[in-house]
Amino acid sequence: MDKNMYCNGEWIGADLDRIKVTNPATGEVIGSVPNGGKSETKQAIAAANEAFKGWSKKTANERASYLKKLYELVVNHSDELAELITKEMGKPKQEAAGEVGYGASFIEWYAEEGKRVYGETIPASHDNKRLHVWKQPVGVVAAITPWNFPAAMITRKVAPALAAGCTVVLKPAEDTPLTALRIAELVEEAGFPKGVFNIVTGAPDVIGTELMENPIVKKVTFTGSTEVGKLLMRQAADNVKKLSLELGGHAPFIILDDADVDKAVQGVVASKFRNAGQTCVCANRIYIQPKIYDAFIEKFNQEVDKLIVGDGSNDNVHIGPLINQSAYEKVDRHVQDALKQGAKLVTGGSGFEQEGAYFYKPTILKDVRDSMLIMNEETFGPVAPIQLIQSDEEAVQLANQTPYGLAAYVYSEGLSRGMKVVEALDYGIVGWNDGLPSVAQAPFGGMKESGLEREGGHHGIEPFLETKYVSIGL
């Protein structure tokens, strides 16, 4: 499956070197995309700039009708998109189908939300003045997306940007460009005007530098590592580019002793093992109080033992491969470090390599301590480390003891008790008795070093809008 870049309504880059795309479950090459660079990025930015003139002047209703067409096309092609996601990213079929549904929900939601971009009138201090606040699209937007949600991370950024009246240049992750380009084909089929949505593939630093330095780009929205996020922030300083960043996380999963243990087991299995643990909101560390410590671990272990590891295109598989060798090595380093420092292995604890594909068994570690690597660094793998804690205060203190602040989870059946813990957590998203809190209509994003701004909800369109204050003298 060889695809080209999408720029100004045309498919470009056929003459460039190719970047191979492989299936992480088999190591097999499944396609290729062009190795675009500075000049293709400039071309895409110029196309988006030209298209902005017309797109920003369309009514919200007109923009909504294009987005609704795109939504229908994505839904009608969900099986095919899911299959492609599994092929280039590795997540199991059913999860991939879930991602397509989740991704499509942002298109549908923002088609409508674009109609609710309201301004304000403000009472004036003089009877001959009228004060207004207008909302206007920021301009050309650059979106840089990661590999772990090849479809949804695109729609979560692009749908609100387009609904707001912005035009977009997207740089998808090098591991998963095929899903992005398939979505571009659907954008073309939906009849969007040329240049409204463009995709460039190639070397991340070269494309990234042009997107950051080019003054036509007014806003950059990024999901990925904290390291690259910080680099983009530094690059943004030179022309004070607006930024939305959704960076790393290290989610604490706190189970208080008044929790419903079965619910907590379900929640942690969903949060921890989804996408083989490769999401920024995956539970990274589990804290449990003594009264339910053993009972929880026993039930959790029974559930984890049912999880099957393998190629996600097989119907019975729950945990696909890790994205690459270095991901595998990091996961194993976290496990070995914990074991060396005295953690006890409940299940799993190793992985395997198969013709260039890397798998890790779902793993539970108990009696983990907060000095261990796994309790501090983002693991991005199917490993659940459990630490015994005593008080609710200790849970909060440990949970907040990190530069990250994306997602946290609290299991407690007590209203006052749960509320106090949830309020004290420095996290942008908290699932209280809920292991899967993310939906299109709610704000997703982090505090502290986990990011800037929010995606989803009415909050998610704001970063694509400028506020213009207009004072009118009569």
Pick 31 or 224: Cβ nearer ligand ADP: 224
| 28 binds ligand ADP per the rule CB under 6 A | no
How far, in Å, CA of 298 to CA of 290, rounded? 14
- Phi, psi dihedral angles at 410 (to 5 degrees): -130, 130
Q: Binder to ligand ADP among 44, 144, 374, 452 (CB under 6 A)?
A: 144
Active site residues: 246, 280
Q: Binder to ligand ADP among 137, 165, 202, 224 (CB under 6 A)?
A: 224
Q: Closest-CB residue for ligand ADP?
A: 208
DSSP state of 238: T
How far, in Å, CA of 278 to CA of 286, rounded? 16
How far, in Å, CA of 395 to CA of 173, rounded? 36
Helix (H) or strand (E) holding 208: helix 204-213
DSSP 397-423: HHHHSSS--SEEEEE-S-HHHHHHHHH
| 12 binds ligand ADP per the rule CB under 6 A | no
Q: Which stretch binds ligand ADP (CB under 6 A): 39-47, 116-124, 166-174, 440-448?
A: 166-174
How far, in Å, CA of 321 to CA of 312, rounded? 8
Tokens 């939300």 belong to: 113
For residue 154, the Cα-to-chain-centroid distance in whole angstroms is 9
Q: Which stretch binds ligand ADP (CB under 6 A): 43-51, 97-105, 113-121, 142-150?
A: 142-150
- Per-residue string for binding with ligand ADP, 179-198, x by CB under 6 A? --------------------
| 452 binds ligand ADP per the rule CB under 6 A | no
Torsion of CA 61, 66, 71, 77, to 10 degrees: 160
| 243 binds ligand ADP per the rule CB under 6 A | no
| 201 binds ligand ADP per the rule CB under 6 A | no
Q: How many CB atoms lie within 10 A of CB 293?
A: 18
Maximal CA-CA distance, the chain: 77
Residue pair 112/65 in contact by the 8 Å Cβ criterion: no
Q: Which stretch binds ligand ADP (CB under 6 A): 27-35, 111-119, 138-146, 447-455?
A: 138-146
Q: Binder to ligand ADP among 23, 41, 43, 145 (CB under 6 A)?
A: 145
| 204 binds ligand ADP per the rule CB under 6 A | yes
Query: Measuring CA to CA, which residue among 239, 172, 244, 237 is closest to residue 208?
Result: 172
Q: Which stretch binds ligand ADP (CB under 6 A): 24-32, 190-198, 220-228, 265-273?
A: 220-228
| 90 binds ligand ADP per the rule CB under 6 A | no
Pick 64 or 282: Cβ nearer ligand ADP: 282
Pick 136 or 225: Cβ nearer ligand ADP: 225
For residue 90, the Cα-to-chain-centroid distance in whole angstroms is 16
| 67 binds ligand ADP per the rule CB under 6 A | no
Pick 293 or 444: Cβ nearer ligand ADP: 444
Q: Binder to ligand ADP among 13, 24, 137, 208 (CB under 6 A)?
A: 208
Q: State in angstroms the smallest separation of the CB of 408 from ligand ADP.
A: 21
How far, in Å, CA of 260 to CA of 265, rounded? 9
Residue pair 426/257 in contact by the 8 Å Cβ criterion: no
| 238 binds ligand ADP per the rule CB under 6 A | no
Q: Which residues here bind ligand ADP, judged by CB under 6 A? A: 144-146, 171, 173-174, 204-205, 208, 224-225, 228, 231
